[in-house]
Structure 1
Amino acid sequence: MDSAPTFDDAVRSVRAGELDADAAADALIAELSDHELLGLLDGDAGPWVLPLIPWLLISRPFVAGAVKRLGIPGIRFSDGARGVVIGRSTAFPVAMARAATWDPELEQQVGRAIGLETRARGANYSASVCVNLLRHPAWGRAQECYGEDPVLTGRMGTAITRGLQANAMACVKHFALNSMEDMRFEVDVSVDEHALHEVYLPHFKAIVDAGAASLMTAYNQVRGRYMDVNAPLLTDVLRTEWGFEGFVSSDWVFGTHDAVASLQAGMEIEMPLRLRRARELPHALRTGRLDRSTVLQAAHRILRTTLLHYANRDTDEPGPAAVASPEHRALARQVAAESIVLLKNEPVGTGTGTDSAPLLPLSPGIRSIAVVGRLADRENIGDHGSSRVRPPSTVSPLRGLRAALPNVRITTASGRSARTAAAAASRAEVAIVVVGLDQHDEGETVLTATVELGVLGAAFTTGVLRGPLSGLVRLSARFVRGGDRRSLALRASDIELIEAVTAANPRTVVVLIGGSAILTEGWSERVPALAMAWYGGMEGGRALADVLTGASEPTGRLPFAIPTDPAHLTPFDRTATQVVYDGSWGQRKLDADGHAAAFPFGFGLGYTTLEHELVSHSFGDSAGPAAGSAEVRVRNPGDREGTTVIQLYAADVSLDRPVAQLLGFQRVTVPAGGESVIQVELDAVPTLQRDPATHEWSPRPGEWMLLAAQHSPLSWTGARPLRPTPPAPAARRPRAASS
């Protein structure tokens, strides 16, 4: 390599094996001035860009650490957990919907597609991996995560990371314990060692172990420290215990609380602009308050990771045609169809008797349908926060049904008048009611366009920026939409609509749209067919039609439990500044407290019923996540092909109320009349405990049993011992007396 290497030189040397990434990064660092060196540690644009962030975010990558004279591209950020936010891109179903597929291989395909579109838009760094646990379904950003279970979250997060990093570095967020929205800037999370390391961190570690390039810190505090300055987590756990070698960036604008301390704690990049660090680091470095070694270490991590990515990413450069390509649209439709969860499907009277078959799929001979509800013809594909994707087109449920059923008379009503909707339903063979949530009910706390000036004012106020404009721009600050949910129930008008339509036509299908659990108590008993269709992305309407007509099997399974009563869940105070995270939430809390779920974790129906049998399993005392596997036989006695998700659960059955722990899962499709034997990998972590002193993992005490199921089990009848029973010690012979 020449004495003045460029970034491209370094990439070629790493790719050819002439230099390792560490040496190549150090060679580039040796050429940097102090100004350029410190410039690696924050965004490249100045503070005057702050009010323009919402517009710039959807028009180009945000760059940090570019050095033009050496060709260093910097990290080039694009957001979007359901696609690329820049321009008009493929809008996939939200992450929660994709979690409902329980299909990591499919999620890896989604990651690859998002990575290709990210790269085609000029970005190399994608914040598409959100793996915070759904501690409570009222969390406003629930739709961006993969549900309430650490194993499911880890498997899906690992899959999208692997797919994404063929073309873009993954930014995994939000590290750590971020599960509420309205108070995300202030809340302090208290957590014990068990819950921290055995519940809220294992899925992050799984993704780190899979090679994630980067993590983003959360806004919240953990144990009294904001995450950007939380050395116990950023250094002691992430770096020392887990061995993470990538870089850490801040959440945006308000995610950096101390320029020097955050760097010392292990956060390499302040995003997205030149704010605190640009103002404070040069002086701190000159005066010795900041050690040069700390700066060099951060620079090394950033450049080493970026070089490795460029050296190993796909060699083919995607062009504009990759964005919202026919292949990606087809993938979005497939994912949306596989995500839909059929919660209820019963026979219903026709006036001449009782059908022998459930209401769904719709009869091929159907002649008339009424599609009603305020969300029936809406382009309702998720919240309007930083993950918002603007596709070139969107198919609503009504449009999807009309396209799928061109010879069926389809009438519609907006739902504003329950009486009008009921009249339309009474004249149709089947009524389909589309209700649920939208960006006003849940999502990232978003500011209006005028309020973006208010963000700038807040930046001045909090000390991120200072200047005479602060008073002016603060005048326009007001929140308008999104945030944590105030209720888990449907709107009263939606419930009124359902009741009116089911009274007018008992052959009614209710389709729920939303990002997490929606309570169904009080009205679902009158509904013969009920489906959760999520925020289904740009092809969601077509996918819904595929499932309702039977062109596709409903294969989705819930990634969380839906309770009968919100009081059965862990408390959720959207105004709290102090919260305690423990190991009891979601289905685990329902199990521990003896409350049956309305629909348990992992639940979902199909159009045929499959049977399963645990054949054998192996499971040792390994302290790692790869504990063993199970062999399960799945039979399909029905007359049509069927798909299910076989789920392996363990529990300590010595407890009065055993608490199910998901260890592994596998989707399987079985032809009519056929059977299949599948292997399911098992994760040990839910059955292990971590020693806080030694950081060693060992089996939890108790009588642990294993059960194969198709959702979180209600009974442990038929379960098998998880670990082999150790043989009894052989009787010891008396030792001969020595002479």
Structure 2
Amino acid sequence: MLTKQTRSKFNEEAKEIVSKLTLEEKVHLMSGSVTFNDMMEDLDAHNKNKHYNWKVYEAGGNEQMGIPKLGFCDGPRGVVTGQSTCFPVTVARGATFNKMLEERVGIAIAQEIRGYGGNFYGGVCINMPYSPGWGRSQETYGEDSFHLGAMGGSLVKGIQSQGVIACIKHFAFNSMENARFKVSVAADKRTEREIFLAHFKDCIDAGAAAVMTAYNKYKGDHCGENSYLIDVLRKEWGYDGIIVSDFGWGIYDTVKAANAGMNVEMCNTSVFGRKLVKAVQDGKVSEKVINDSAINIIRTLLAFKKNPDPINYTKENLIANDEHINLAKIVAEESCTLVKNDGILPFNNSKNEKILILGRLAGIANLGDHGSSEVFPPYSVTIKDGLIAKSEGTIGFYDGRDIEKAKKLALDYDKVIFVVGYDYKNEGEYIEDGDFKIGGDRKDGFGLEQYDRDLIEKVSEVNKENVTLIVSGSMITLDKWADSTKAIMYTYYSGMEGGSAIAEVLFGDVNPSGKLPFVIPKNENDLPQVNWTSEEQRYEYYHGYMRLEKYNKECKYPYGFGLSYTKFNISQPQIELKSDSIVASCIVTNIGSRKGKEVVQLYVGYDNSKVDRAVKTLKGFEKVELYPGESKTVKIICPLDKLKYYKEKENKWILEPMLYQGYIGSSSDKKDLFEVDFEIQKY
């Protein structure tokens, strides 16, 4: 793992190299090498021979001085370059609540990047979806800051263990899509530090060697030119890695961006390059600013160049190989989140069983957004094809376009599977080219499309033995149609092996173990309200499950909730104070008849706080696998720093001496939690 300590060993060498470079050579290190026209041609959806980032996008480098080029590959559901393994989208991986599994995903992605000759992964997306209507919610792990930091940190560790630079993005407050180039976000300082920046620091602490700034503004300044935000990184957090701009439109003002601390303009050069050289010559940017950027870049690249992974990575032996594809399937299996099951699942895989699949999404390769995160795998397994391959019985399929026809068909089948939800046209990175528009934020609410609701309600009248699979990149609300179906499972965009994985879960070969990485409210109006086309948006402290709990609003299903085909018992919950941490523990026993995995969650409450705080917040989680009758002790360690709040007047973090409420269990719902109070004395 290449950490800040590893990078610091190259400080003097980097300074020595910089002292020998001309101004033009130093500025070249700060400049993307892909032309704007080439990038736009790659972004053209009608170009069938290429796609965005189809090859490694390079920047900087100096062969004579031994400085490698920055070789960029985007993500986050795999490597956008070439034909790579397509993993489930990030929100699906968030639903696994499996840090070790996410680290394995990072290892696989980094190996494929090395196979393409790259050294820089721009796919650690950890933005906070202030509202689940954000079009790119699928690219991040969920709505909780602690969860984002823990899962993102695991991906960082996996990526960098293989000699690839992990870039976390988009710093910061990037939670709106349609207005991302014009919106200016505002928040009070406590909200900023506790809710929107904390997980970025977690990933910096995990060793992340690069940060990408966001398109949007924060308090009036574009994030790529925002000296306040960059000072938080550099001066407060001690970050010494590379800062890159978001592509094409990440910075606008040469002098402002350079003086704020932007290191590399990506992926083309229009603001830096010759304009930056002239700004230095005119005295508007000091050469020290350029030197500091060059040192950051060189130090980071040397650390990775001189700590190579011993494996020889090639396209032939690592890109979309069997091991990585199997890992994508495992992730898809663990992400499946069962929230309702009235005894219908798992299905018996019988030769006499006839199952009808209804819904257009079952028959298409629905891998998620078609923007900058789109991965192009060598193949993908649809839900329909996965079920046909797995079933011993008869599988029928109809896209459900004509509901009356669907009702007639359903009469001839034992069971029905509805596949409903969204695709890249409903949500994702917003792309507009004349009449061609895809993605963007969800402007029409968080529920299913009317034709999906009608399909479920009408067909269930003639066949009540039915299951609903929800395909989406974020939360979809459940209204009256949910009463018409016996089981509901969120499958998200489940990657190239999603169809195979979902079939194995439905037939019981795999026990579902996903947990909701977002709350599902009864009333979507209880969530924060966002004007998706606004030029100004204020983010409040409370969102998601914390907001519902704070204002005593009901949820349909709580954050962290998910059912299994077996049953688990949690006993002997304890919380101890040890040095600078709390250590929570419990015994988990599988009291059912199937092997399964449970996610033990630790929440901390603040009933006795002297300031306004959440009812409780997630402060740890561990996933454990158990055979029937097996018991294991689970320990969760939470640093005391994670219990602090930010005191704005003093600009510092405060740990309150008081009695805290500890909660250990299987979801954020108090009925699923054991309360174990603990006291922190003067600290």
Which of 153, 156, 162 is equivalent to 1:158?
A: 153
Whole-angstrom distance in 2 between the partners of 1:211 and 1:203: 13
Alignment of 1:322-401 (within 5 A): 322-346=318-342, 358-365=343-350, 367-401=353-387
1:632 is paired with a residue whose SS is: strand
1:128 and 2:153 equivalent? Answer: no
Q: For 1:275-311, what per-residue CA distance to the aligned partner results, in whole angstroms no more than 9, with x for missing partners?
A: 0112421211112211111100100000100111122
Q: Which residue of 2 aligns with 1:709?
A: 665
Task: Give deviations 1:564-614, integer Å, cap 9, x for gaps.
Answer: 111010112111211111210000111011112111100000001111124
**Stretch moving more, 239-248 or 40-49:** 40-49
Counterparts of 2:265 and 2:211, CA distance in 1: 12
The residue aligned with 2:199 is: 203
What runs of 5+ residues in structure 2 fail to find an aligned partner?
44-49
Kindly state the Cα deviation for residue 687 of structure 1 after the two structures are TM-superposed: 2.6
- Give the C-alpha shift of residue 170 in structure 1: 0.8
Distance change in 2, residues 1:89/1:658 (3 Å): closer
Task: Tell me, yes or no, if the aligned pair for 1:198 and 1:685 is still in contact at 8 Å.
Answer: no
Any conservation in 1 of the 2:129–2:137 contact (CA below 8 Å)?
Answer: yes
**Distance change >3 Å, CA 68–CA 364, structure 1 → 2:** same
Partner of 2:263: 268
Residue matched to 2:623: 667
CA distance in 2, matches of 1:249, 1:545: 41
- The alignment partner of 1:376 has SS state of helix
Query: For this pair of structures, how many residues does the alignment match?
Result: 668
Show the 5 A alignment for 1:93-242: 93-165=88-160, 166-235=162-231, 237-242=232-237
1:45 maps to what in 2? 34
1:408 aligns to 2:393 (yes or no): yes
| Cα offset, 1:684, TM superposition | 3.7
Q: CA, structure 1 residues 437+274, in 2 after alignment: closer, same or farther (shift >3 Å)?
A: same
Q: CA deviation at 1:657?
A: 10
Aligned partner (choices 53, 60, 73) of residue 58 of structure 1: 53
Decide whether the 8 Å contact of 2:546 with 2:614 is kept in 1.
no
Deviation of the 1:335 alpha carbon: 0.2
Equivalent position amino acid for 2:84 in 1? S
1: CA distance, partners of 2:370 / 2:376: 10
SS in 2 for 1:96: helix
Q: CA deviation at 1:714?
A: 3.3
Give the C-alpha shift of residue 263 in structure 1.
Answer: 1.4
Q: 1:28 aligns with which of 12, 17, 23?
A: 17
Listed one character per residue, the Cα deviations across residues 100-119 of structure 1 (whole Å, up to 9, x for unaligned) are 00001000000010101111
**Mean alpha-carbon deviation: is it higher for 589-598 or for 363-372?**
363-372
User: Structure 1 pair 693/264, CA: closer, same or farther in 2 (3 Å)?
Assistant: farther
Contact 1:216–1:251 (CA<8 Å) still a contact in 2?
Answer: yes
The residue correspondences of 1:311-330 to structure 2 (distance < 5 A) are 311-320=306-315, 321-330=317-326
| Secondary structure of residue in 1 paired with 2:447 | coil
For residues 637-665 of structure 1, give each alpha carbon's deviation from its aligned partner in whole angstroms, at most 9, with x where no partner exists: 21222221111111123589962211111
Which of 549, 563, 585 aligns to 1:605? It is: 563
Asked if 1:577 is matched to 2:577, the reply is: no
Q: Do residues 482 (structure 1) and 467 (structure 2) align? A: no
Aligned to 1:91: 86
The alignment's TM-score, normalised by the length of structure 2, stands at 0.94
How far apart are residue 701 of structure 1 and its match?
Answer: 6.8
Q: Deviations over 1:440-467 (max 9, x none)?
A: 00000124xxx4xxxxxxxxxxxxxxxx
Shift of 1:722: 3.0
CA shift, 1:726, in A, is 7.6
Q: Percent identity?
A: 35
Tell me, in whole angstroms, the C-alpha distance in 2 between the residues paired with 1:376 and 1:47: 38
Pairwise CA distance, 1:72: 2.7
In 1, Cα distance between equivalents of 2:172 and 2:682: 38
Within 5 Å, which residues of 2 pair with 1:537-556?
537-556=495-514
Q: CA offset at residue 408 of structure 1?
A: 0.7
Q: Which amino acid aligns with 1:31?
A: K
**Residues 613 and 634 in structure 1, CA contact (< 8 A), matched pair in contact too:** yes
- Distance of aligned partners of 1:246 and 1:682 in 2 relative to their CA distance in 1, 3 Å threshold: same
Cα distance in structure 1, aligned partners of 2:439 and 2:577: 45
Matched, 1:644 2:598: yes
Query: Aligned pair in 2 of structure 1 residues 229, 621: CA closer, same or farther (>3 Å)?
Result: farther
> Given that residues 75 and 122 in structure 2 are in contact (C-alpha distance below 8 angstroms), is that contact kept between their aligned partners in structure 1?
yes
Distance 1:189 1:367 in 2: 54
Amino acid corresponding to residue 478 of structure 2 in structure 1: T
Aligned partners of 2:584 and 2:637 also within 8 Å: yes
Judge which range, 54-63 or 239-248, deviates more.
Answer: 54-63
Task: Give the Cα–Cα distance (whole angstroms) in 1 for the partners of residues 36 and 586 of structure 2.
Answer: 58
Out of 510, 515, 535, the residue aligned to residue 493 of structure 2 is: 535
1:299 maps to 2:289:
no
Q: Structure 1 residue 228: deviation in Å? A: 1.3
Q: Is the 8 A contact 1:650 1:722 kept in 2?
A: no
CA RMSD of aligned residues (A): 2.2
| Counterpart Cα distance in 2 of 1:92 and 1:316 | 22
Give the counterpart letter for 2:235 in structure 1: T
Tell me by how many angstroms 1:70 deviates.
Answer: 3.5
Q: What is the distance in 1 between the residues matched to 2:151 and 2:674?
A: 29
Q: Secondary structure at the match of 2:96?
A: coil
Following the alignment from structure 1 to structure 2, what is the Cα–Cα distance between the partners of residues 195 and 299?
33
Q: Which letter maps to 1:440?
A: K
The one-character-per-residue Cα deviations of 1:707-739 (angstroms, maximum 9, x if unpaired) are 112111235985222325689xxxxxxxxxxxx
Are the structure 2 counterparts of residues 638 and 232 from structure 1 closer, same or farther at C-alpha, using a change threshold of 3 Å? same
1:60/1:122 contact within 8 Å kept:
no
Contact between 1:182 and 1:445, CA under 8 Å: does it hold in 2?
A: yes
Unaligned runs of 5+ in 1: 1-10, 347-357, 452-476, 728-739
- Measured in 1, the distance between the counterparts of 2:251 and 2:68 equals 23
Q: 2: distance between equivalents of 1:299 and 1:643?
A: 47
- Scaled by the length of structure 1, what TM-score is found? 0.87
- Matched residue type, 1:188: S
C-alpha distance after superposition, 1:243-297 (max 9, x if no partner):
1010100001111021121111111011111201124212111122111111001
- For residue 693 of structure 1, report the CA deviation from its aligned partner: 5.9
For 2:46, the equivalent position in structure 1 comes to: none
**CA shift in 2, pair 1:441/1:677, >3 Å:** same
Q: Cα distance 1:296–1:323, how it changes in 2: closer, same or farther (>3 A)?
A: same
Alpha-carbon distance in structure 2 between the residues aligned to 1:45 and 1:277? 13
State the alpha-carbon separation in 2 of the partners of residues 154 and 47 from structure 1: 33
How has the CA–CA distance of structure 1 residues 482 and 691 changed in structure 2, closer, same or farther, with 3 Å as cutoff?
same
Letter in 1 for 2:437: V
The structure with the larger Rg is: 1
Q: Once the 2 structures are TM-superposed, how far is the Cα of residue 629 of structure 1 from its aligned partner?
A: 1.5
SS in 2 for 1:515: coil
